């Protein structure tokens, strides 16, 4: 039987790691390793990586607690129902996120008291008793250097933010 | 109880046997799901979805493969579907974040629960692998599966599993050794 060369031995090391060597091939690899420090180093590295992977996964597994089984739901074919409710929860969460972001950006803009020529137009001269005059949508960039250009066109308030046109539903026209 | 007997009882409509089957299988199925999806809540739902699929298809289980192999195959399919949805949601979030010029979101959960710095880095490198390489690595090293069983679950041959593992190991090694030094970090020798 011919002896393994260096390259064949490296391939054999990988096959050994995956349990794909038969007894004869394993013996051939051992003979090569006995005389080759380079391949022994390679083997040590490979085994180190494998052990590190196992440790990492063990730690991950231990850090992930299993939620209780909703047995009735599984038995009643409730998995489909669970999918729907999860989808609904995700949509709700996305909507909430959008609202929070919107409220935050508006809040920051108003609080900062931006000049009207930089902010999306919110007419502060209107009496506070006319809540309907407040635009239902206003988007402001929180950065001190606004990246949008406000426009008032066709009675609608619009702003271009990062190349996108944002349209605010306007309140009633001033008399 | 022996698996074949349990399955026969399930197929006969024995509710107690079905309950036993579901309870016994849940930890196994959950562990696979959480290794792929990372999020325990998502994995719990995926596991229950997979078990529901298993219960409703028990009649199709022919016993050629081990029961766990069959369950793993079902679970993997459920997880792949959920991964696609999760990625789509992530892309949407990134798009929104970009539009509103927000800071990047806080570090993902997995970056904060693994305490050891080197292992955290390795976990991140595993997550960065493509699905083709990531799944064989998880099945081989998270679940200690032989290459033959991985091939069966993924529906590819052993040689392909081996070559994907080789690619993955080379990439992980490069991710850990390449670039800057790692203070206090990993030495995998
Ligand atoms: Zn050698």
Structurally, how many domains does chain B consist of?
Answer: 2
Digit-coded pLDDT (tens) for A112-141: 444 444 433 333 444 444 443 333 333 333
Assess if residue A156 is contained within a domain: yes
Of B76, B105, B134, which residue constitutes the final position of a domain?
A: B105
Q: Note whether B5 and B87 are same-domain residues.
A: yes
Strand A148-153's sheet: what is its strand order?
A: A148-153, A156-161, A164-168
Q: Running along chain B, 189 residues long, what does each successive block of 10 average in pLDDT?
A: 86 92 95 96 96 91 85 96 90 83 54 72 94 97 97 96 98 81 35
Assess if residue B171 is contained within a domain: yes
What is the pTM assigned to this prediction?
0.66
Q: Note whether A12 and A58 are same-domain residues.
A: yes
Place of tokens 């074919």: A77
A85 in contact with B, Cβ within 8 Å: no
Task: Specify the CATH number for the domain of residue B127.
Answer: 1.10.10.10
Q: Is the pLDDT of residue A163 over 90?
A: no
Q: CA-CA-CA-CA torsion for B111, B114, B118, B123, nearest 10 degrees?
A: -60
Question: 3-state class of B75 per DSSP?
Answer: helix
pLDDT, residue B105, reads: 52
Q: Note whether A88 and A55 are same-domain residues.
A: no
A67: pLDDT confidence band, cut at 50, 70 and 90?
A: very high
- CA–CA separation, B55 and B49 (whole Å): 10
CB–CB contacts below 8 A, A to B: 143
Are A68 and B30 in contact by the 8 Å Cβ rule? The answer is: no
> How many Cα atoms are found within 13 Å in the side-chain-facing hemisphere of B120?
14
pLDDT, residue A91, reads: 58
Which stretch of A32-46, A144-158, B51-65, B107-121 has the lowest confidence by average pLDDT? A144-158
Q: Which domain holds residue A17?
A: 6-63
pLDDT, residue B138, reads: 98
- A3 or A88, higher pLDDT: A3
Indicate the residue of B43, B45, B52 with minimum beta-carbon distance to A77: B52
Are B31 and B71 in contact by the 8 Å Cβ rule? The answer is: no
How far, in Å, are B43, B99, B173, B174 from residue A8 at the CA level?
A: 41, 53, 20, 22
pLDDT, residue B59, reads: 87
Indicate the residue of A55, A61, A86 with minimum beta-carbon distance to B119: A55
pLDDT, residue B99, reads: 79
> Which residue of B13, B15, B18, B44 is the best one to mutate when testing the A interface, meaning the one whose CB has the most A CBs within 10 A?
B44
Q: Which domain holds residue B36?
A: 1-105
Q: Note whether B155 and B166 are same-domain residues.
A: yes
Q: Note whether B24 and B60 are same-domain residues.
A: yes
Of B85, B105, B125, which residue constitutes the final position of a domain?
A: B105
Say how many Å lie between the CA of residue B174 and the centre of ligand 1.
21
> Which residue of B34, B79, B92 is the best one to mutate when testing the A interface, meaning the one whose CB has the most A CBs within 10 A?
B34
Assess if residue B187 is contained within a domain: no
- A20 or A171, higher pLDDT: A20
Q: Note whether A104 and A138 are same-domain residues.
A: no
**What's the mean per-residue pLDDT of chain A?**
65
Q: Note whether B117 and B73 are same-domain residues.
A: no
Structure tokens at A126: 């209107």
- A2 or A104, higher pLDDT: A2
Q: Is the pLDDT of residue A175 over 80?
A: no
Assess if residue B93 is contained within a domain: yes
Structure tokens at B28: 């196994």
pLDDT, residue A85, reads: 41
Structurally, how many domains does chain A consist of?
Answer: 3
Q: How far is A18 from chain B (nearest CA, A)?
A: 6
Cβ contacts (< 8 Å) between B71 and chain A: which residues?
A: none
Q: Note whether B76 and B131 are same-domain residues.
A: no
Place of tokens 């009882």: B9
A90 in contact with B, Cβ within 8 Å: yes
């Amino acid at each position: 039987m011919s002896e393994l060369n260096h390259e064949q031995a490296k391939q054999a090391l990988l096959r050994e790691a995956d349990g794909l060597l038969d007894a004869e091939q394993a013996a051939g690899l051992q003979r090569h390793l006995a005389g080759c420090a380079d391949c022994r180093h390679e083997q040590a590295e490979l085994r180190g990586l494998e052990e590190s992977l196992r440790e990492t996964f063990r730690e991950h597994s231990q850090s992930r607690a299993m939620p209780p089984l909703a047995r009735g739901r599984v038995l009643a074919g409730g998995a489909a129902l669970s999918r729907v409710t999860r989808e609904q929860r995700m949509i709700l969460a996305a909507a909430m996120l959008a609202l929070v972001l919107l409220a935050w950006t508006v809040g920051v803009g108003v609080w900062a008291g931006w000049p009207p020529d930089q902010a999306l137009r919110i007419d502060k001269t209107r009496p506070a008793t006319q809540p309907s005059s407040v635009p239902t949508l206003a988007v402001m960039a929180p950065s001190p250097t606004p990246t949008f250009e406000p426009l008032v066109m066709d009675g609608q308030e619009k702003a271009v933010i990062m190349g996108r046109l944002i349209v605010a539903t306007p309140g009633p026209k001033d008399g | 109880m022996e698996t074949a007997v349990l399955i026969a009882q399930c197929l006969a409509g024995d509710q107690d046997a079905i309950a036993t089957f579901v309870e016994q299988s849940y930890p196994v199925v959950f562990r696979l799901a959480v290794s792929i999806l990372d999020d325990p809540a998502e994995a719990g739902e995926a596991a229950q979805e997979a078990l529901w699929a298993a219960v409703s298809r028990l009649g199709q289980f022919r016993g050629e493969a081990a029961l766990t192999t069959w369950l793993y195959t079902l679970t993997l399919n459920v997880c792949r579907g959920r991964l696609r949805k999760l990625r789509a949601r992530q892309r949407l979030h990134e798009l929104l974040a970009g539009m509103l010029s927000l800071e990047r979101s806080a570090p993902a959960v997995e970056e904060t629960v693994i305490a050891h710095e080197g292992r955290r880095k390795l976990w991140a490198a595993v997550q960065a692998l493509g699905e083709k390489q990531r799944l064989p690595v998880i099945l081989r090293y998270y679940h200690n599966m032989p290459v033959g069983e991985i091939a069966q679950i993924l529906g590819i041959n052993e040689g392909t599993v081996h070559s994907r593992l080789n690619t993955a190991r080379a990439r992980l090694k490069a991710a850990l050794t390449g670039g800057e030094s790692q203070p206090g970090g990993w030495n995998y020798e």
